[in-house]
Amino acid sequence: MTSAPAMDPLGAAIRAIAESRAELPGALLPILHEVQDQLGYVPDAAVPIVADVLNLSRAEVHGVLTFYHLFRRSPPGRDTVYLCRAEACQAMGARALEAHLKQKLGIDFHETTADGRYSLEPIYCLGNCACSPAVMIGETVHGRVTADALDALLEKG
């Protein structure tokens, strides 16, 4: 008699999360959210495990994971830079700030810098419309942000 191969700690953690929520109605989303809450992202290794626990195809799990932009598929940076893309901020220069930020960091939205320092995410209102354009770094909102001001904030980070 042969025993099943030992599961790595990451796989075991994902399976435990999936099994603990498998009986919930519409369990796939709560499972993916919990994996991300605990690990900071949903690794590719989660797809076959979650599919197995829920008796879904890998394609179904992958489709949900890639459809919702809130799910990260790679580890987040130490800090996340959220750039407001709402109308007030766009009217006050957020698109130019977006281009500057993407060039400076060398990444696009939903990506992380190679050094793991920053992740870049769009957000659709920071409630700081009177001080547009706005960014949030970590949990701090900054208003009337220029390219130079943003560079200074990133250097302080």
Give per-residue pLDDT as tens, 102-117. Answer: 999 999 998 999 999 9
Are both 55 and 89 inside the same structural domain? Answer: no
Burial of 133 (0-12, 13-18, 19+ CB in 10 A): buried
Is 73 inside a domain boundary?
Answer: no
* Residue 148: Cβ-neighbour burial (10 angstroms; 0-12, 13-18, 19+): exposed
Mean pLDDT of all residues in 97-106: 97
| Domain final residue, candidates 67, 90, 114 | 67
Read out DSSP for 22-57? TTSTTTHHHHHHHHHHHHSS--TTHHHHHHHHHT--
Query: Are both 83 and 139 inside the same structural domain?
Result: yes
Q: What integer pLDDT is reported at residue 5 of this predicted model?
A: 52
| Residue corresponding to tokens 């980070």 | 157
The pLDDT of residue 1 is 46
Domain limits for position 93? 79-156
Per the structure, the count of domains in the chain is 2
Look up the CATH number of the domain holding residue 132. Answer: 3.40.30.10
pLDDT the model gives residue 3: 45
Residue with tokens 């290794």: 45
Q: How far apart are CA 127 and CA 108, in angstroms?
A: 23
Residues 52 and 84 grouped into a single domain:
no
Is the model's pLDDT at 155 over the cut of 80?
yes
* pLDDT value at residue 148: 98
User: Is the pTM of the predicted complex or chain greater than 0.85?
Assistant: no
| pLDDT above 60: residue 4 | no
Quick one: 38 and 107 in the same domain?
no
pLDDT band at 2 (very low <50, low <70, confident <90, very high): very low
In this structure, the answer to whether residues 94 and 45 fall within a common structural domain is no
Both 130 and 107 in one domain: the answer is: yes
Residues 87 and 60 in one domain: no
